[in-house]
């Protein structure tokens, strides 16, 4: 079954209910959760005028092997790739490595401390995104058919008290289903998930260029995935323009093509999608550096929602090796540099608590909550 194996999302039909969840009010589509999660959210604990810019990017289904070891010679040969296409990780991802070398940090590399993993037990996309956004190892979302998340998310917390149409907190994704887990009880955040889904999408069309990019993405020819799956290049265009023009407090960018090519057993397409994503990371990093030069506290996190099976095509609970992921982080709010060794096993759930520390949000004391990545933070942040 797809929920157990991470089977291909390509061509998966959308139900009317799923489309409604992605397009209209998310709060009405999410299952009820325990009463203790319904408390009123509070905004940042420090003065609101403090400038902060946090960007979280996911490269859906990208394996740690390519990120840290480069092109897999075995897979390349099996897929008929030329010998010269088998290159190192630095050659495959030059911009990601420029970030690591100059002002960033990599977590989860072989030989550098404990790994970082999705909590599972099903190593699938929606559970991975639910873990990332909520900072919980138990999220109420167990498969790609789940209806929502049972805990407040950093998207909700960061947007609390802000104008809904301001776009100061934004999530822009290629795969439309991600909208389901961006919040537990609705958020004052702008979400553009897939070609047509999300809430407060008007925040991305406040000027002529933003409106043009949004419309272009809605009407682009179908290429990969579900009918409402938006090409990564167009998703990135909207996100990067929003970052440059509106300088949001928090921006999530979810790129989905690597996982789509993985499920198609197209290793060449997967590598090409990874190279294209690497080029966009350079654009984001440049913009964040410019903001940092003006005094904004910045942070960039780049990771994956899950890994892949040794066979490459699948992932999920039947493939425990697909739990392992990776993390690259950079920015003026972080101190980790180069290849950093984690003091203990890390989880995707630890990224949200790290964001909370940077943004001066209240800590999550729930037993299923992650912990801040102290190896990336200065002691003054803790």
Instruction: Answer whether residue 361 is part of any domain.
Output: yes
Q: What is the CATH number of the domain that holds 196?
A: 3.40.720.10
Instruction: Answer whether residue 5 is part of any domain.
Output: no
Nearest-angstrom CA–CA distance, 242 and 38: 31
Residues near 278 by beta carbon (within 8 Å), at least 6 away in sequence: 92, 93, 94, 95, 96
Instruction: Answer whether residue 312 is part of any domain.
Output: yes
Looking at the DSSP assignment, which residues form a beta bridge with residue 173?
Answer: 193, 254
CA–chain centroid gap for 164, Å, is 21
Q: What is the DSSP string of 196-260?
A: TB-S-GGGGGSSHHHHHHHHHHHHSPP-SSSTTPPPHHHHHHHHHHHHHHH--SEEEEEE-HHHH
Nearest-angstrom CA–CA distance, 269 and 258: 8
What is the pLDDT, as a whole number, of residue 41? Answer: 62
Instruction: Answer whether residue 214 is part of any domain.
Output: yes
Instruction: Answer whether residue 228 is part of any domain.
Output: yes
Instruction: Answer whether residue 12 is part of any domain.
Output: no
What is the pLDDT, as a whole number, of residue 17? Answer: 37
Q: What share of the chain is helix, strand, coil (3-state, %, to 5)?
A: 40, 15, 45
Looking at the DSSP assignment, which residues form a beta bridge with residue 297?
Answer: 52
Instruction: Answer whether residue 105 is part of any domain.
Output: yes
What is the pLDDT, as a whole number, of residue 209? Answer: 97
In order of 105, 111, 330, the CA distances from 341 in angstroms are 10, 8, 15
Q: How many domains does the chain have?
A: 1
CA–chain centroid gap for 186, Å, is 19
Q: How many CA atoms lie within 13 A of 108 on its CB side?
A: 27
277 within 8 A of 232, measured Cβ to Cβ: yes
What is the pLDDT, as a whole number, of residue 22? Answer: 40
Closest CA to 307 of 279, 348, 268: 348
Instruction: Answer whether residue 27 is part of any domain.
Output: no
Query: pLDDT means per 10 residues in the chain (382 residues)?
Result: 45 39 38 41 54 97 98 97 97 98 96 96 98 97 95 96 90 97 94 95 94 94 91 98 96 98 98 98 98 96 97 96 98 91 95 97 94 83 44
Residue 285: which domain range? 50-381
């Amino acid at each position: 079954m797809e929920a157990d194996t991470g089977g291909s999302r390509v061509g998966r039909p959308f139900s009317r209910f799923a489309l409604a969840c992605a397009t209209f009010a998310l709060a009405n589509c999410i299952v009820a959760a325990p009463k203790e999660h319904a408390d009123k959210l509070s905004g940042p604990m420090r003065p609101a005028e403090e400038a902060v810019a946090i960007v979280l990017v996911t490269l859906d289904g990208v394996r740690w092997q390519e990120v840290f070891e480069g092109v897999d010679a075995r897979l390349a040969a099996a897929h008929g790739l030329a010998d010269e296409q088998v290159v190192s990780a630095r050659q495959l991802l030059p911009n990601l490595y420029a970030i690591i070398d100059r002002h960033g940090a990599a977590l989860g590399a072989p030989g550098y401390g404990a790994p970082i993993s999705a909590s599972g037990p099903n190593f699938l996309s929606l559970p991975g995104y639910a873990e990332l956004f909520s900072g919980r190892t138990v999220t109420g979302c167990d498969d790609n058919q789940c209806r929502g998340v049972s805990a407040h998310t950093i998207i909700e917390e960061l947007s609390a008290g802000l104008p809904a149409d301001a776009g100061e907190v934004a999530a822009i994704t290629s795969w439309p289903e991600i909208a389901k887990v961006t919040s537990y009880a609705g958020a004052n955040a702008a979400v553009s998930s897939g070609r047509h889904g999300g809430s407060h999408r008007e925040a991305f069309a406040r000027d002529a260029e933003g409106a043009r990019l949004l419309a272009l993405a809605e009407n682009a020819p179908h290429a990969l995935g579900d009918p409402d799956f938006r090409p990564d290049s167009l998703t990135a265009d909207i996100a990067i323009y929003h970052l440059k023009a509106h300088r949001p407090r928090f921006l999530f960018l979810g790129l989905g093509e690597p996982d789509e090519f993985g499920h198609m057993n197209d290793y060449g397409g997967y590598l090409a999608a990874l190279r294209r994503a690497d080029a966009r990371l350079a654009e984001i990093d440049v913009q964040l550096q410019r903001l940092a030069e003006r005094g904004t506290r910045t942070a960039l996190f780049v990771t994956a929602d899950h890994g892949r099976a040794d066979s490459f095509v699948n992932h999920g609970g039947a493939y425990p090796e697909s739990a392992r992921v990776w993390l690259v982080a950079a920015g003026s709010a972080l101190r980790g540099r180069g290849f950093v060794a984690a003091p203990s096993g890390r989880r995707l759930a630890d990224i949200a608590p790290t964001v909370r520390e940077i943004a001066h949000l209240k800590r999550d004391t729930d037993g299923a909550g992650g912990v801040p990545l102290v190896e990336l933070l200065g002691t003054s942040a803790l």
